[in-house]
Chains A and B, each alone.
Chain A
Amino acid sequence: MKQSTASALGRHALLIAGASIVVTPFLWMFTTSLQSRAETYSNGSILPTSWHWENYAVAWEAAPFGQYYLNSLVMAAGIVSGHLILDALAAYAFARLRFPLKDAIFLVLLAALMIPTFVTIIPAYSLVASFGWIDTYWGLIVPRLADVFGIILLRQYFASIPGELEEAALIDGLTRAGIFFRIMVPLSLPAFATLGIFSFLFAWNDFLWPLLVTNSDELRTIQIGLSAFQGRYGTSWNYLMAGTLTATLPSIIVFMFFQRALIRGIAASGLKD
């Protein structure tokens, strides 16, 4: 008993040391965002010593962060709902329906998952450009309305639901669409939550694609806007950190509320391997 108390203390010590390293950049970002410009060059304190909350207002006025935020929200809403609907429909077909070439199609999708985005991004960009979708919400959203990861995740979940439920429902005269919406969807809400969070974080944090397909402030997403802001105000660290923190907040809040669903999803996709 004595030894296990000692080892618990040792683990706490190591974990606290590690967690401090992990958390330092966040504290530093917060502290700097509240300093005056002069302090950012002289003050090494990791905890706030001054409280210039007006830095946030200054940063938000120096660049159209409101517009960036809105664009990111619209894009994220589009992508998340796309994934939830399109991925779920396809996942149901792969989990339950019979159709020719089912395994072959699924294998092609799995293989596509292995291909680095660099390979597809150039042709996908030319395609979107030829549709006239550069600098539009279409270009930001439509190419990413469905993804293979979501199909795999939901297919696995649907497959774990007992088939007897559906057989009974079919006998009772429910159509496949009826079964999907009235039985499968309500039973799979945890899986939908996991996918929704993954998709939101992906969309909110995405960089390369929005960088390519937007070129005006009216369409730039928060990450692109932030990167451009850094280019212009690179040494105004206090404003830059205020902007960075506001850009990061939504993902952190989503993470804090839905930590469980997120971690469950990683565990599921890791185990699958």
Chain B
Amino acid sequence: MITAIAFLTPALVVLGVFVIYPIISAGYISLTSWNGFSPVKDFIGFDNYARLAQDPEFWNSLLVTSIYAAGVCVLSVASGLVVALLLDAPLRGRGFYRGVFFLPAVTSSVAAAIVWRYMLDPSGFVNTVLEGVGIQGPDWLQDRWLALGALTLLTVWKNVGFNAILYLTALQALPEGVFEAAQIDGASFAQRVRHMTVPLLKPMTFFVIVQALITSFQSFDLVYVLTGGGPQGGTEVLGMIMYREAFRLSDFGYGTAIAFVTLFLVLGVTLVNWRASGSGKSSLR
């Protein structure tokens, strides 16, 4: 018993003070009009949440974040699965490819966003290449939908190696015999992927989607550096307005309310996805 306390205390103190206590405290702060430094926290009930419901910036942010999250989810599953399928069977240089695809994941968001920002600059790589084939490229980051598209692709690019490794792990755990049998029975590669691999990988797809959801609903660093939320709020994800309200405008109560809405959205969408994917079990149709 005493031994257990000695082993547990250091980690539990840190996690208790800086993770568990803040979660509880955040619940209360979101019900106050606290400015972050005043000793009094005025209790205002659900006013912050009511204000959110009438805040056009919040609704814009919710729309932007939802479109962004949907794009990231679909493209993460697709890119991760394709790369994993290509890397699944033995191949010369497989480790090298895997390393290359993983490179963006170990690069910091700040560095990645700075490079992408330059590549999408009117004088940058993308437009120079387009010019080479006779196309006048747009100013990518000055159009709200193009900027959101660029942000989506940047996020997917950054995570493709990570998702591919998750899928590879799942692929390598699949029973080989069933696939050989199907092949002998004349099922083509495309048929095997569509009717066997994809259904069998359902639990991993659920995991990848949840990861992608959490990533996009918590996105901040990439947006902060790539677009700063612009143009005209076109990439203003929830993380950006939370940061601005709390740390720029000193409205900690309102900022915390935004954070809580983010939490409920992630949990809600995860739950729906969990139901839709048959409680995360794999299935063969």
Contacts and interface: CB of A to CB of B under 8 A. Distances in A.
Interface in B186-203: 203
Interface string B245-285: 01100001001101110110011000000000000000000
20 contacts: A22-B101, A22-B160, A89-B7, A90-B11, A105-B8, A112-B20, A117-B218, A119-B23, A122-B259, A129-B36, A142-B18, A175-B3, A180-B7, A207-B110, A207-B221, A226-B114, A241-B115, A251-B106, A263-B102, A270-B166
Contacts of A230: 114, 225
Nearest to B162: A266
B153 to A, nearest CB: 10
B165 interface: yes
- Closest 9 A/B residue pairs (Cβ): A44-B128, A123-B22, A90-B11, A205-B108, A99-B4, A118-B259, A93-B7, A120-B22, A143-B18
A267 B218 CA distance: 23
Interface string B68-98: 0000000000000011001101011101011
B119 A267 contact: no
B140 interface: no
B19 interface: yes
Contacts of A90: 7-8, 10-12
Given A244-B115, A248-B107, A255 B26 contact: no
B119 to A, nearest CB: 6
A145 to B, nearest CB: 5
A126 B32 CA distance: 14
Query: Which of B95, B132, B161, B259 has the most chain A CB atoms closer than 10 A to its own CB?
Result: B259
Contacts of A14: 86
A11 B17 contact: no
A26 to B, nearest CB: 7
B35 to A, nearest CB: 11
Given A99-B4, A207-B220, A248 B111 contact: yes
Contact of B101 (A18, A97, A127): A18
Nearest to A252: B106
B229 interface: no
B152 interface: no
B155 interface: no
A152 to B, nearest CB: 12
**Chain B interface: which size bin?**
35 or more
Nearest to B247: A212
B86 A32 contact: no
A22 B259 contact: no
A115 to B, nearest CB: 6
Given A112-B23, A122-B246, A146 B10 contact: yes
A100 B194 CA distance: 49
Contacts, number: 265
Given A15-B86, A22-B160, A127 B103 contact: no
B125 interface: yes
A120 B258 CA distance: 12
A176 B5 CA distance: 12
B106 to A, nearest CB: 4
A25 interface: yes
Nearest to A112: B19
Nearest to B128: A44
A161 B119 CA distance: 49
A255 B103 contact: yes
A112 B15 contact: yes
Interface in A148-172: 148, 151
B174 interface: no
B37 A127 contact: no
Contacts of A92: 7
Nearest to A126: B36
A108 interface: yes
A24 interface: yes
Interface in B93-149: 93, 95, 97-104, 106-112, 114-116, 118-119, 121, 123, 125, 128-129, 131-132
A25 B115 contact: yes
Query: Which of B97, B129, B203, B217 has the most chain A CB atoms closer than 10 A to its own CB?
Result: B97
A23 interface: yes
A32 B118 contact: yes
Contact of A227 (B20, B207, B225): B225
